[in-house]
Structure 1
Amino acid sequence: MIERANAVLVLEDGTTFHGKAIGKIGKAAGELAFNTGMTGYQEVFTDPSYLGQLVTMTSPHIGNYGTAEPESESKSMQCAGIIIKKFSEVASREISDSSLQEFLEENNKVGISDVDTRALVRHIRSKGAMNAIISSVDSDSIESLSEELKNVPSMEGLELASKVSTKEAYVLPATSEESTLKVALMDFGSKSTIAKCLNERGCEVKVFPMDTALEDLLAYNPDGFMLSNGPGDPAAMTSSHQLVKEIIDTNIPVFGICMGHQLIAASQGLTTEKMHQGHRGLNHPVLNHKTGKGEITSQNHGFVVSRSSAEGNDNIEITHSHLNDNTVAGIALKDKSVFSVQYHPESSAGPHDSRYLFDDFIANMNSNKKS
């Protein structure tokens, strides 16, 4: 057993949890979020949508199977820090290339273990999402950490997508035998599996920075636009609202995921709302209103499209709803080949119930190409 330093977690309402340090010695602050997935911790930690957040994993054992490079959703860990119950120093999987401790150290990330994560999650569910700070620095006191925490910005009103969007455009070729379609993927903090799902379906994908001008996007001559997931408050991204509106007005098919979904909504005059504690996990039930079927989905978001604003727009069809709280989980434009969902159809980790949405997008592009 490795002897580990003491660590502390301080919430902005003064609630304090003591535990043991994992990862590097130091401190990290951000909005508290919790993920209920029983697997897929590496995919969670490397998802750019978690930028600026301290992620609490509710599964009691984390680190058991180590990490493997192909399972990362971006080039590095994106969350600010991690909070877990039982930490495994041993990676008991043949294909792992490092332990989670090594992965944390390589990514210069701070974490805390031996925390009663059930109590922490119950607190967040009751009080709502709030900022917190982790520290494993001996000299830090609860009082000094509470003072530092006052300077951590609220997630509401925070634009973060520009911090994770690619700076240069790049092409990912199709991996199936026949490549017939070209997709322009707007990178607001995209998970790598989104492009892989398109590549597997015969699409060449060109990933563009989020501030790319429409004329430069159209110069690629895309058959469709994919609007990716990403971190932060969609309401703060007013320039992206306008760009997405311009993209939609081209009449080229569009598919949006999470942040992309929210930006499509905002471009049509809908509003978004900060949620009490968000949806993050691999088992969220969603109803498809078109088929009447339920889907188990992978989700990660702290903002949601206002149902009243969606219902008040005659050109918006609500296609999916979350069965736990009836929040809007998918929309489509009635006069355009544009649809979006509030969850992750590419999953990774998670169930594959919703991957048909990529096939629907392919069908839309082929239909538009023929016409």
Structure 2
Amino acid sequence: MDRLERLMKELTEAGGISGFEGEVRKKMEAYLSPLSEELLRDRLGSVVGRKTGDPNGPKVLIAGHLDEIGFMVTGITEKGFLRFQMVGSWLPHNVLSHRVRVRSRKGEYLGLIGSKAPHVMPLEERRRLVELKDMFIDVGASSREEVEEMGIRPGDPIIPESPFFTMKNGELWGGKALDNRAGCALAVELLHALQDTDHPNIVFAGATVQEEVGLRGAETLANLVEPDVAIAVDVALAYDTPGHENHPLQADLGKGPVLFLMDHFLIAHQGLRDFLLETAKDLDIPVQFEVMMGGGTDGGRFHLQGIGCPTIGIGCPTRYIHSHNGIMCRKDFEQTVRLLKELVRRLDRRKLEELLA
């Protein structure tokens, strides 16, 4: 396992659902600190490292988000099972029989989202989708009192349990929380790539909190940094699996980074869009496209900062997001790092004025 795989493994396996990002934030800070002149934090927990090229250049914010989707304890049954609510967006199909970690004030406990055996289910029930409100988590307890002794109480976070893995001789990465620890890793790798490179601006690279529940940390972080330009780095949907044959757009693993043209919260800034595409062409990096009206990225808040902040979103195509196991391609990640580095290298005050004209 090389340095980049170790980075992805450590970030993806860390627990940090929306509102409870402390563990993964500490890991991000450990990676960002030696690559930055200064770490900046907002009061919700978002963090960025500052890397100055030209102190009079534009401020460029490039950020992923720390949080992952998960669950929260909402109740305890008399026999010691947990009731829960989703934090972020889940499909019930992806939840049953998966392992989770319940984090209480006394420690972490392995849990299993329980399910009925088909043998005792009538045909009608087998065909019916199990709703989240009817699910429960088994932590091995036999009573409410035993659960309370474990320190578990309503409001505690529940983290998906799924180790990082690789496929195809390391060409593919898999595991939980690729959305959006991949974006966190992109921010780290960008600062790593800029260590021996001159650039004509001030880069703020890092990650926000609470993206999955309404882009909340993006707003507070943008208020802190006050960027002139912003790039949200996230994951994009891959459409190369069965069932997407008739999708109007195509985003395949291994065929390059994805530019978000439009989502529910943001229309890509025209000047930045063209600048990115021209830069990618010069680097011979293919770019794929996404229009995602059912969701969005932190760019939806970044671009509303102050009097307006030119913003785009870019990410790596990823299969099976918002589940316990996603899959993405290392090559796409590495190409995205190269593209971000060159964008930073070319983006000076004069170029920014040109983009805004």
User: TM-score, normalising length from structure 2?
Assistant: 0.35
Higher relative contact order at CA 8 Å, sep ≥6: structure 1 or structure 2? 2
